[in-house]
């Protein structure tokens, strides 16, 4: 089972690193800037999660995460050099997949440490959102977290699905897939239909 978690984690890092590379390309950054933005996006959220949970930072003793980021950067650069174009929709779709993977991994790690459901959901939000937040700040973009469309709310929703499905006694791998699908579906629906959380009327 731990091997499954590791592969899920690597997949989330790769998808977020790709979204960081796409934004760096759009901002016309140099090679170093591309790697920095991809790295910050890929491991930023998980690093914050481990610091808050007082756990060893996941990538410090496992270089596979760094290699995964470099592979994601190389593949993205190849794709961009081939196609010569990037759409904002592609960037947001890549970000949505990374958000779904990381939100679930954040919840799973907190649950495995015996944290209560509320704490687990918060860890899912931190893991899913913080890497993208760093990416957007470094690229001088308004973070997707603050743009109105459902973003952190999708992580909360996915976290609730995870914790409640766990209480039903479902196998962990099914719970993870179900939570990821719920998070991703809600995020894609928010992008497609412009779903937002109203607070004030401007």
Q: What is the pLDDT of residue 148?
A: 67
Q: What are phi and psi of 115, to 5 degrees?
A: -75, 150
pLDDT in tens, the chain (202 residues): 577 778 878 888 998 899 899 889 989 999 999 999 999 999 999 999 999 999 999 999 999 999 999 999 999 999 888 876 667 787 788 889 889 999 999 999 999 999 999 999 999 999 999 998 999 999 999 887 887 678 999 999 999 999 999 999 899 889 999 999 999 999 999 988 888 877 776 6
Q: What is the pLDDT of residue 188?
A: 94
Give, for 6, the enclosing helix (H) or strand (E): helix 2-26
Q: What is the pLDDT of residue 194?
A: 83
Q: What is the pLDDT of residue 94?
A: 83
The candidate with the shortest Cα–Cα distance to 176, out of 18, 4, 10, 57, is 4
β-partners of residue 196 are: 149
Looking at residue 196, what DSSP letter applies? B
Extract long-range pairs of 73-82: CB within 8 Å, 24+ residues apart.
Answer: 73/17, 73/21, 73/34, 73/35, 73/38, 75/18, 76/17, 76/18, 76/21, 76/22, 76/25, 76/38, 77/21, 77/25, 77/34, 80/21, 80/22, 80/25
Q: What is the pLDDT of residue 1?
A: 54
């Amino acid at each position: 089972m731990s091997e499954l978690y590791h592969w899920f984690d690597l997949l989330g890092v790769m998808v977020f690193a790709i979204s960081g590379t796409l934004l760096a390309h759009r901002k016309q950054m140099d090679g170093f800037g591309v790697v920095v933005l991809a790295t910050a996006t890929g491991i930023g959220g998980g690093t914050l999660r481990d610091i808050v949970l007082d756990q060893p930072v996941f990538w410090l003793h496992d270089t596979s995460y760094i290699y995964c980021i470099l592979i994601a950067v190389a593949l993205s650069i190849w794709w961009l050099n081939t196609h010569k174009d990037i759409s904002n929709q592609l960037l947001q779709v890549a970000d949505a997949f990374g958000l779904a993977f990381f939100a679930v991994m954040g919840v799973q790690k907190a649950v495995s440490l015996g944290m209560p459901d509320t704490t687990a959901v918060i860890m899912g939000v931190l893991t899913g959102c913080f890497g993208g937040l760093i990416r957007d700040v470094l690229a001088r973009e308004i973070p997707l977290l603050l743009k109105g469309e459902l973003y952190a709310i999708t992580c909360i929703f996915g976290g609730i699905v995870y914790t409640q499905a766990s209480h039903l006694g479902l196998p962990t791998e099914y719970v993870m897939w179900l939570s990821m699908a719920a998070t991703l579906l809600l995020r894609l629906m928010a992008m497609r239909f412009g779903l937002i959380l109203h607070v004030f009327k401007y």
